[in-house]
Amino acid sequence: MNAKPHVIHIVDDDPAIRDALTVVFELEGFAVREFDDGESFLGVVDGERPHCVIMDVHMPGQSGIEILRRLHATGFDVPVFVISGQGDIPMAVEAIKHGAHDFIEKPFDADTVVGRVRDAIAAAEKSGNGKGLAADFPGSDSLTPREREVLAEITGGASNKEAGRTLGISPRTIEVHRARIMEKLGARNAADLVRIVLSREGTAQ
C-alpha cells in the first residue's frame, strides 16, 4: 500500500461540483483539498504542491484562464484539468494554450474523470519533457515541454488516440497541440514535422 495518497486540488465556486468530485476522488483513495476561488488556491499551491488540479474556467474574481497564466509564468508543471460546458470549448482550447493539461466537458462521468486524472498523474510522473527528440532543431526553442512531448509522439508515428493515451490527455487536446506545433514550426503536415525534427539529428550527438 502506498505511504501517501495522491493529492487533488479542486478549484470551483460551485459547492455541488466540489462536493461531488471530492466524494468520488476520496472513495478512490485520493486526498482532496477544495477551494472556492482561484486566489485561495494560489495562496497555498506553492507550499502544498498537489499531484493534479481540477479547475473551473468560470469563477468570480480571476477566471480559470487568469489563474493558469499565473501558474504558467512560475513554471508550474502539475497537470491542470479545466472544467468547461459545451459552449466553452474555445475557452478550454485557450486554457490549453496557457498550460492546462486537458479539459473536462460538463456533464461529466465520474469514472471517466478519475481515469483521466490517474492517466495524467502517471504520465507526469514518468515524463521526460519531450525525450526522444533531437535536442536542437529549427524552432525547437519555441515549443513548450508539453508540445515537445506531443511532437515526439507524432514523429514517432503515434495516432492522436495513441499519443493521448501515452501522455494522459484526450485525442482532441492532442489535435490542439498538434495545430500549435505545426504553426510554430511552419509545418504543413506530419511529414513536414518529421523533416524539421530530423534536420538536425544527423549532426546532433
Q: Which three cell numbers stand for residue 9?
A: 486540488
Each residue's pLDDT, cut to its tens digit, for the chain (205 residues) gives: 445 899 999 999 999 999 999 999 999 999 999 999 999 999 888 788 899 999 998 888 888 888 988 887 777 888 999 988 766 777 877 888 888 888 888 888 888 899 989 988 888 777 654 445 666 677 888 888 788 888 888 887 788 888 888 888 888 899 999 898 989 988 887 777 777 777 654 443 3
Q: Which three cell numbers stand for residue 68?
A: 493558469
- DSSP, collapsed to helix, strand or coil, labels residue 123 as helix
DSSP per-residue string spanning 7-73: EEEEE-S-HHHHHHHHHHHHHTT-EEEEESSHHHHHHHHTTS--SEEEEES--SSS-HHHHHHHHHH
Sign of the C-alpha dihedral computed for residues 170, 54, 151 and 98 taken in this order: positive
> What pLDDT does 100 receive?
87
Q: Which CATH architecture has domain 140-198?
A: Orthogonal Bundle (1.10)
Element (H or E) spanning 183, and its range?
A: helix 171-185
> What pLDDT does 54 receive?
96
> What pLDDT does 86 receive?
66
Nearest residue to 58 via CA among 103, 12, 8, 16: 12
> What pLDDT does 202 receive?
40
Distances (CA, A) of 19 to 23, 74, 75: 6, 29, 29
Q: Which amino acid is at 4?
A: K
**Boundaries of every domain in the chain:** 7-125, 140-198
Task: Give the CA diameter of the chain.
Answer: 56
> What pLDDT does 201 receive?
47
7-125: in CATH 3.40.50.2300: yes
140-198 shares the fold of 7-125: no
